[in-house]
């Protein structure tokens, strides 16, 4: 795989990214030299068995965790050279993140949660863009509610809206539908899909669910800290088929 | 379940430490108070135990002994030498030694300064070698020789060491006799008892004849007889034997009784201090209870998911409650143990401080089993009670809560708080009102209980009161600080109960400080007004160590150029209709030239056998001019007649005024307590002041003050007391501050994930620290505002209640109160330092993935 950016611009990339936890006896190689590119305006899904390093990859890419070696670029910025202040600023301005759970500040309303990154940065809110995002999320009538007055799906959609509203270069979502029933999950996924299609947003999402992966443009398969395969224009069936193959490979190994 | 609890405790040492912390402080003060009190008691028991001889003969004084010795005037009634011989001739008596004792004979050191500690007596005695009840000598010569004749003296070893004199030097004294200044050659050094400690007093020893000359006008008489029983007779037998031959105005007591009396009088004197310490310990513990309650509430809230998980796994409610209580027990035991140790430290500190002020407490600290038991009972019981409420709440956590994050306190429990809090506040206020304004016997207890109830009531109401206050205190945050401000405001408001509980510790401290400062300001205002309106005399002569002085001084002062008149005021105790009463003696006609005295009824021509009284007292006692009361003095017992009633003045306090002749007839020594000096018209005041200083120059115990200096001195006395109180209350505030730190840190830990999330979406460390700081300021100011409001209430009602007893000016130190609130904000900033730093250090990823 070459690192030369191809026709669509690269929003983020990793070169030979290694993450090792612990030392000596208890050493775990969570990522064993991953080189990967995420093209701008594309929806990428990451799949793989539990413990394969998906979350670790997301955290390292999103400047939440440092890598052991290798390079991570957000746009053209290389992360390893940045100090805490610069990392904070980078997260605030260039990256959106959606966690599996606990995405919202309980004391703030949905609206305040959505505009939180902008408020923190002291940036003014682009009214049109905000309305646009809200309309897409479909939460216009719930904006003044506190998180505990919202359903799980609604909460995750608020979290997605928050990630979108600051127009980051890239959004990372770690199992955003992991806690949701299939209907709520569908709400969130179609919202992510639409934001890629309509707003040209770049999204990287970890999921265990083949039908969730089917919303993406491209699926990367991770196993034992390595990218072992990828698939473009996935469907649920194709992904499921591919995963079964994995499981047997994983068991043999 | 038990194993799980203990494991979870051990796993969170910091949490354990923080919740134990409140208990440690509370217990430390209780233990410290007891240990210190016991140590004082032991010291005085040591000094006075076995001090007297088998039997003591002395003049029979009406009322309790310290009614007269309390004013250091004693009595002029003496025991003739013949009586000593009669007593020693009795068959059960082996020997009888006549003793002379004076309590106002002060040693001056080589710099001419008075040697005793403030308020401690300067004791002078005659030498004799009679043993105490245990057969040991009371005084032992340790250096030089015994004083053998006129002009010779021996000093106690402590005084000798500190004085700078050498044997053979001429020692200077100040006495209350006709010759105010005495000197004698130092011939020896004696040691008192075994330890030598005199608790700050000085001791000068003279040969008997010379002592009689110095103190008894040369009469061959004594103040007391020490009797040693002969072999085979018991002290009680000898006492009864002596009583049989004693004239009516003398009494015989066993030495043991006398020693007990002396020790308990002194302990009583220090008793206010012990009470003070224990009250303070109660306050500390009270504040501590809030912290413990608070801490456990948070801890339980933090673990509610864990609890819910237990419940989901089949644990019963009881088991959950028990697990919290078990945790509380462990924390209580650890906290009490540490608190007890810290308490010993506190007592040692107090002992050192006392020592530095000259009141040495010999020997080590006294740790009685009672102290240990109380410490543990208090520490553990308080903790268990404080933990019970959250434990019950914890047991109610429904298992599904394991799935959800936020557990909101139920509406109903809030309503219960409101009702109970309201009821307690009202009941407490009522109790205070009754105690303060009605005429009941247990007033202090009622007021104390009332204040306590109001505190608890308001603390319960605090979550409700907190919301509107916080909206004001933190309302402007979002405007001023943007998102950071909004987060801080919402954090302060999100759990009003916790915020209020944190603030209530500070509230209590602030309420007490405020109340005290109001009383203090009022006292100062009262003193000022009394002196402004009441004193016309240009100068006041008084004794710096609070002892009366020789009338010879008035004589000297009146000779000074430019002095028109000198009015002397004498003081004594006495029994009026059987009640111990403070008496003042002066010539009212002269007095009214020097200070405010206006007659409402009768005359101010006060003769012997007559008295004056203030308006209010006359009314409350139902006295009118011409009525008589019974007055008992050491040497007299008879009726005196009310000659006049004067308008209430703060200076006199409305008390009983008799003529100086009445006191002298009653065998009260003729000593002045204060002189008002009136300058002649047109006299140069500076020159008069100078002249007065010269006239009293060789009497360092006596000070001359002009009106301003006198006012300042009176104010200083009030302020000195206030500072002591402030210092201790300052500790209560300190506990409160540590409480805020504690709670804030815990609640930040509780919000770990939230903090992580905020950091993940771009909140910088600085912004995070500011958020926490702002929240802390809001909490602290909330506590201060509630505390100052309560303190105003307490302070004003306290002032109103004792307005009749002299504190009739109400002053509210507004500037000071504003300073308190500002200080609270500073406290908030300081309290946030550690929690904010901790939060800022949190690793973003770790925070997010924390369970
Ligand atoms: N803080 C850590 N310390 C040590 N090892 C860790 C740590 N975090 C993750 N690991 C290890 O790194 C490997 C990758 O973990 P990671 O969380 O990335 O897996 P994942 O693919 O997200 O799994 P899942 O699908 O279960 O979320 C695992 O073997 C895990 O045990
Ligand atoms: Mg994962």
pLDDT-based confidence at B49, cuts 50/70/90?
A: low
| Complex-level ipTM | 0.73
HEC readout, B234-292:
CHHHHHHHHHHHCCCCEEEEEHHHHHHHHHHHHHHHHHHHHHHHHHHHHHHHHHHHHHH
Tell whether the model's pLDDT for residue B438 goes beyond 90: no
pLDDT of residue B409: 45
Which pLDDT value is given to residue B484?
Answer: 84
Specify the higher pLDDT residue, B232 or B264: B232
Among protein residues, the one with the nearest Cα to ligand 1's atom 26 is A50
Statement: residue A251 has pLDDT above 60: no
Q: CB–CB of B794/B451 below 8 Å? A: yes
Q: Calculate how far, in angstroms, residue A175's C-alpha sits from the geometric centre of ligand 2.
A: 7
Q: Is the pLDDT of residue A204 over 70?
A: yes
Contact A17, A57 (CB under 8 A): yes
Contact B490 A84 (CB under 8 A): no
Examine the pLDDT at B406 and tell me if it is beyond 60.
Answer: no
Kindly list the residues from chain A whose CB atom is less than 8 angstroms away from the CB atom of residue B764.
Answer: 85, 88-89
Closest ligand, as measured to the CA of A56: 1
pLDDT at B116 over 50: yes
Phi, psi of B276 (to 5 degrees): -55, -45
Higher pLDDT among residues A46 and B315, named by residue: A46
CB contact under 8 A, A99 and B757: yes
How far is Cα B80 from Cα B250, in angstroms, rounded to an integer? 11
Strand-pairing partners, residue B656, are B583
Which stretches does DSSP call E strand in B89-223? Answer: 93-99, 101-102, 106-108, 122-126, 139-144, 152-156, 170-174, 181-192, 202-206, 221-222
Please give the Cα distance from B592 to B605 (Å, whole number).
Answer: 11
Q: State the pLDDT at residue B64.
A: 60
Cβ–Cβ gap B845/A85 under 8 Å = no
Sort strands B599-602 and B702-706 into parallel, antiparallel or unpaired.
unpaired
Nearest by CB to residue B762, choosing from A65, A92, A148, is: A92
Q: Looking at residue B560, what is its pLDDT?
A: 87
Higher pLDDT, A78 or B440: A78
Give residue-wise pLDDT tens across range B696-712: 877 777 888 888 888 88
Per-residue CA distances from B451 to B382, B463, B513, B723, B803 (Å): 20, 19, 14, 22, 19
Q: What is the mean pLDDT of residues A205-210?
A: 91
Q: pLDDT confidence of A252, banded at 50, 70, 90? A: very low
Q: Which residues line ligand 1 (CB under 6 A)?
A: A 21-22, 28, 30, 48, 50-56
> Which residue among A92, A106, A148 places its CB closest to the CB of B761?
A92
Ligand nearest, relative to CA of residue A19: 1
Q: How confident is the model at residue A14 (pLDDT cuts 50, 70, 90)?
A: very high
Q: What's the pLDDT score for residue A246? A: 66
Residue B270, pLDDT > 60, answer yes
CA dist B756 and B762 (Å) reads 10
- Tell whether the model's pLDDT for residue A17 goes beyond 90: yes
Q: Which of residues 820-849 of B touch A (CB under 8 A)?
A: 844-845, 848
Segments making up each domain of chain B, as ranges: 1-50+280-407, 51-266, 461-535+708-851, 544-701
Question: Given this model, what pLDDT does residue B269 score?
Answer: 65
To test the contact with chain B by mutation, choose from A113, A119, A173 the residue with the greatest count of B C-beta atoms within 10 A, namely A119
A56-65, A206-215, B686-695, B796-805: the lowest-pLDDT one: B796-805
- In this prediction, residue B237 carries a pLDDT of 87
pLDDT on residue B602: 86
Q: In this predicted model, which residue has the larger pLDDT, B495 or A14?
A: A14
CA distance B585 to B321: 69
Mean pLDDT computed over B397-417: 56
Percent of residues, chain A, with pLDDT higher than 90: 27
What the block records as the tokens of A32 is: 């064993």
Write down the pLDDT at residue B70. 46
Provide the token pair at A201: 């947003």
Give the three-state DSSP class for B587: coil
| A249 in B contact zone (CB under 8 Å) | no
CA dihedral A45, A51, A55, A56 (to 10 degrees): -120
Does the structure show a pLDDT above 60 at B1? no
CB distance B614 to B653 below 8 Å? yes
Q: Would you state the pLDDT for residue A215?
A: 92
Inter-chain CB pairs, A–B, below 8 Å = 70
Question: Rounded to whole angstroms, how far apart are CA atoms B706 and B715?
Answer: 14
Collect all residues of chain A within an 8 Å Cβ-Cβ radius of residue B759: 88
Looking at the partner chain, which of B404, B490, B845 has a beta carbon nearest the beta carbon of A107?
B490
Q: Is A123 on the interface with B (CB under 8 A)?
A: no
Ligand 1, atom 25: closest residue by C-alpha:
A50
More confident: A1 or B768: B768
Question: What are the structural domains of chain A?
Answer: 10-252 (3.40.50.300)
- List, for residues A168-200, the tens digit of each pLDDT value: 889 999 888 887 788 888 888 988 898 899 889
Ligand 2 centroid to Cα of residue A228, in Å, is: 17
Tens digit of each residue's pLDDT (9 = 90 or more) over B735-787: 777 777 877 787 777 777 788 888 888 888 888 899 989 998 998 899 899 99
pLDDT of residue B11: 60
What are residue A97's DSSP bridge partners?
Answer: A172
Count helices and strands in chain A by DSSP H and E runs: 8, 10
- Residue B583 CB neighbours (<10 A): 22
**Closest residue to B760, CB basis, from A85, A89, A91:** A91
Please state the rounded mean pLDDT for residues B816-838.
Answer: 87
How confident is the prediction for chain B on average, in pLDDT?
A: 81
Binary contact (A92, B765; C-beta < 8 A): no
Distance between CA atoms of residues B798 and A251, nearest Å: 82
Residue B750, chain A, CB below 8 Å: the answer is: no
Its pTM stands at 0.68
- Does pLDDT of B415 surpass 90? no
Chain A residues with CB under 8 Å of B301 CB are none
Residue B8 pLDDT class (50, 70, 90 cuts): low
Phi then psi for residue B192, to 5 deg, are: -95, 125
Nearest by CB to B757, which of A89, A103, A148? A103
Band of pLDDT at residue B458, cut at 50, 70 and 90 = confident
Map tokens 């009685």 to a residue: B368
Q: Does B754 touch chain A (CB under 8 A)?
A: yes
Count of positions (residues) in chain B: 851
Task: Give the single-character DSSP code of B94.
Answer: E
Closest ligand 1 atom number to CA of residue A31: 14
List helix spans (H) across B595-639.
Answer: 615-621
Residues of A with Cβ-Cβ distance to B754 under 8 angstroms = 102, 105-106
Beta-bridge mates of residue B126: B206
Q: Which range, of A39-43, A63-67, B444-448, B701-705, averages the lowest pLDDT?
A: B444-448
Cβ pair A120:B483 closer than 8 A:
yes
Separation of CA A56 and ligand 2 centre (Å): 7
Strands B224-229 and B636-646: unpaired
Q: Is the pLDDT of residue B10 over 70?
A: no
3-class DSSP state of B611: strand
User: Do the beta carbons of residue B643 and residue B625 sit within 8 Å?
Assistant: yes
Smallest-distance ligand from the CA of A47: 1
List, as ranges, residues with CB under 5 A of the ion ligand 2.
Answer: A 55
Closest CA to B674 of B569, B603, B751: B569
Query: Are B108 and B267 within 8 A, CB to CB?
Result: no
B750: which residues sit within 8 A by CB, 6+ positions away? B298, B301, B302
pLDDT category of residue A2 using cuts at 50, 70 and 90: very low
DSSP result, B459-507: HHHHHHHHHHHHHHHTTTHHHHHHHHHHHHHHHHHH-HHHHHHHHHHHH
| Rounded-to-integer distance, Cα B698 and Cα B173, Å | 10
Q: What is d(CA B825, CA B725) in angstroms, rounded to the nearest whole number?
A: 22
Ligand nearest to the CA of A68: 1
Compute the average pLDDT of residues B506-517: 85
Residues 399-418 of B with CB under 8 A from A: 404-406, 408
Q: Please check the confidence at residue A112 and state whether its pLDDT lies above 80.
A: yes
Q: How far is B493 from chain A (nearest CA, A)?
A: 9
The fraction of chain A above a pLDDT of 70, given in percent, is: 93
In which band, very low, low, confident or very high, does the pLDDT at B207 lie, cut at 50, 70 and 90?
Answer: very high
Q: Give me the count of residues in chain A.
A: 253
* Angstrom distance (rounded) from CA B774 to CA B556: 67
Tens of pLDDT, residues B314-361: 666 777 788 778 888 888 898 899 999 998 998 888 888 777 766 666
pLDDT confidence bin for B850, thresholds 50/70/90: low
Whether the per-residue pLDDT at B502 is higher than 60: the answer is: yes
The residue whose CB lies within 8 Å of the most ligand 1 atoms, and thus the one to mutate among A34, A56, A250, is A56
């Amino acid at each position: 795989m070459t690192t030369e950016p191809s026709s669509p611009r690269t929003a983020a990339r990793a070169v030979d990214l290694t993450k090792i936890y612990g030392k000596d006896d208890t050493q775990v190689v969570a990522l064993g030299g991953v080189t990967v590119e995420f093209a701008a305006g594309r929806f990428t899904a990451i799949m793989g068995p539990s413990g394969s390093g998906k979350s670790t990859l997301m955290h390292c890419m999103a400047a939440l965790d440092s890598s052991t070696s290798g390079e991570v670029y957000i746009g053209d910025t290389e992360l390893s050279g940045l100090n805490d202040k610069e990392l904070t600023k980078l997260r605030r301005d260039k990256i959106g993140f959606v966690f599996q759970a606990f995405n919202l500040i309980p004391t703030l309303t949905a609206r305040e949660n959505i505009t939180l990154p902008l408020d923190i940065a002291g940036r003014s809110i682009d009214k049109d863009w905000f309305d646009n995002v809200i309309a897409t999320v479909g939460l216009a009538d719930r904006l003044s509610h506190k998180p505990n007055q919202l359903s799980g799906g609604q909460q995750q959609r608020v979290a997605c809206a928050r990630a979108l509203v600051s127009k980051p270069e890239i959004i990372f979502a770690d199992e955003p539908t992991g806690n949701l029933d299939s209907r709520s999950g569908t709400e969130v996924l179609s919202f992510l899909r639409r934001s890629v299609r309509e707003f040209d947003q770049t999204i990287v999402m970890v999921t265990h669910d083949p039908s969730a992966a089917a919303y993406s443009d491209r699926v990367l398969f991770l196993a034992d800290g390595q990218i072992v395969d990828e698939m473009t224009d996935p469907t649920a069936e194709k992904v499921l088929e591919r995963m079964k193959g994995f499981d047997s490979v994983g068991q043999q190994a | 379940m038990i194993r799980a609890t203990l494991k979870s405790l051990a796993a969170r040492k910091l949490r354990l430490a923080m919740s134990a912390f409140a208990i440690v402080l509370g217990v430390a003060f209780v233990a410290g108070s007891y240990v210190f009190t016991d140590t004082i008691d032991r010291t005085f028991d040591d000094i006075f135990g076995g001090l007297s001889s088998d039997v003591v003969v002395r003049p029979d004084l009406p009322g309790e002994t310290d009614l007269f010795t309390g004013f250091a005037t004693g009595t002029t009634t003496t025991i003739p030498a013949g009586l000593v011989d009669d007593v020693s001739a009795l068959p059960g008596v082996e020997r009888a030694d006549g003793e002379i004792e004076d309590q106002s004979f002060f040693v001056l050191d080589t710099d001419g300064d008075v040697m005793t500690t403030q308020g401690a007596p300067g004791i002078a005695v005659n030498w004799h070698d009679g043993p105490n009840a245990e057969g040991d000598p009371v005084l032992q010569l340790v250096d030089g020789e015994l004083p053998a004749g006129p002009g010779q003296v021996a000093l106690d070893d402590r005084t000798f060491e500190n004085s700078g004199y050498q044997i053979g030097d001429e020692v200077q004294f100040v006495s209350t006799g006709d010759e105010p200044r005495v000197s004698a050659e130092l011939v020896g050094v004696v040691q008192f008892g075994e330890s030598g400690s005199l608790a700050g007093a000085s001791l000068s020893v003279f040969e008997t004849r010379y002592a009689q000359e110095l103190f008894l006008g040369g009469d061959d008489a004594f103040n007391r007889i020490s009797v040693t029983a002969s072999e085979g007779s018991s002290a009680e037998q000898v006492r009864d034997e002596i009583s049989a031959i004693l004239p009516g105005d003398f009494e015989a007591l066993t030495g043991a009784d006398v020693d007990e009396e002396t020790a308990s009088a002194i302990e009583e004197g220090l008793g206010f201090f012990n009470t003070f310490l224990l009250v303070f310990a109660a306050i500390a513990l009270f504040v501590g209870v809030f912290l413990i309650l608070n801490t456990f509430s948070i801890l339980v809230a933090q673990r509610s998911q864990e609890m819910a998980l237990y419940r989901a796994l089949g644990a019963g409610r009881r088991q959950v409650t028990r697990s919290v209580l078990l945790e509380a027990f462990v924390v209580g035991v650890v906290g009490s143990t540490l608190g007890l140790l810290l308490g010993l430290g506190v007592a040692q500190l107090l002992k050192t401080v006392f020592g530095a002020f000259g009141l040495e407490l010999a020997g080590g600290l006294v740790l009685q089993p009672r102290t240990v038991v109380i410490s543990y009972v208090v520490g553990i019981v308080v903790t268990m009670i404080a933990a019970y409420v959250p434990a019950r709440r914890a047991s109610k956590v429904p298992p599904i809560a394991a799935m959800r994050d936020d557990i909101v306190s139920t509406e109903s429990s809030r309503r219960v708080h409101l009702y109970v809090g309201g009821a307690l506040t009202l009941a407490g206020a009522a109790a205070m009102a009754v105690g303060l304004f009605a005429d009941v016997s247990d007033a202090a207890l009622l007021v104390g209980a009332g204040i306590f109830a109001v505190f608890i009531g308001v603390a319960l109401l605090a979550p409700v009161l907190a919301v509107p206050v916080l909206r004001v205190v933190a309302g402007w945050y979002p405007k001023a600080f943007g998102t950071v401000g909004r987060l801080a405001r919402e954090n302060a408001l999100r759990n009003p109960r916790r915020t209020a509980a944190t603030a209530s510790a500070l509230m209590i401290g602030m309420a007490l400080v405020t109340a005290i400062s109001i009383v203090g300001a009022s006292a100062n205002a009262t003193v000022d007004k009394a002196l402004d309106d009441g004193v016309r005399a240009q100068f006041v002569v008084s004794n710096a160590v609070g002892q009366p002085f020789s009338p010879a001084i008035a004589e000297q002062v009146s000779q000074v150029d430019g002095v028109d008149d000198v009015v002397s005021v004498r003081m004594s105790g006495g029994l009026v209709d059987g009640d111990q009463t403070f008496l003042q003696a002066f010539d009212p006609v002269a007095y009214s030239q020097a200070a405010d005295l206006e007659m409402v009824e009768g005359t101010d021509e006060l003769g012997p056998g007559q008295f004056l009284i203030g308006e209010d007292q006359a009314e409350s006692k139902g006295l009118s001019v011409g009525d008589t009361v019974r007055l008992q003095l050491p040497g007299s017992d008879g009726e005196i007649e009310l000659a006049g009633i004067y308008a209430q003045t703060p200076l006199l306090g409305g008390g009983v005024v008799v003529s100086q002749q009445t006191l002298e007839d009653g065998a009260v020594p003729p000593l002045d307590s204060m002189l008002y000096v009136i300058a002649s018209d047109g006299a140069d005041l500076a020159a008069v002041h100078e002249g007065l200083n010269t006239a009293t120059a060789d009497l360092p115990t006596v000070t001359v003050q002009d009106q301003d200096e006198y006012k300042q001195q009176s104010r200083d006395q009030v302020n000195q007391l206030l500072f002591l109180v402030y210092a201790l209350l300052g500790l209560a505030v300190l506990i409160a501050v540590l409480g805020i730190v504690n709670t804030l840190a815990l609640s930040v830990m509780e919000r770990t994930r939230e903090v992580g999330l905020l950091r993940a979406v771009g909140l910088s460390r600085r912004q995070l620290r500011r958020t926490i700081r702002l929240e802390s300021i809001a909490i602290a100011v909330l506590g201060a505002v509630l505390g100052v409001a309560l303190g105003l209430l307490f302070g004003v009602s306290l002032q109103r209640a004792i307005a009749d007893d002299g504190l009739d000016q109400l002053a509210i130190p507004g500037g000071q109160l504003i300073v308190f609130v500002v200080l609270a904000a500073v406290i908030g900033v300081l309290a946030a330092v550690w929690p904010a730093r901790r939060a800022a250090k949190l690793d973003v990823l770790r925070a997010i993935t924390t369970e």
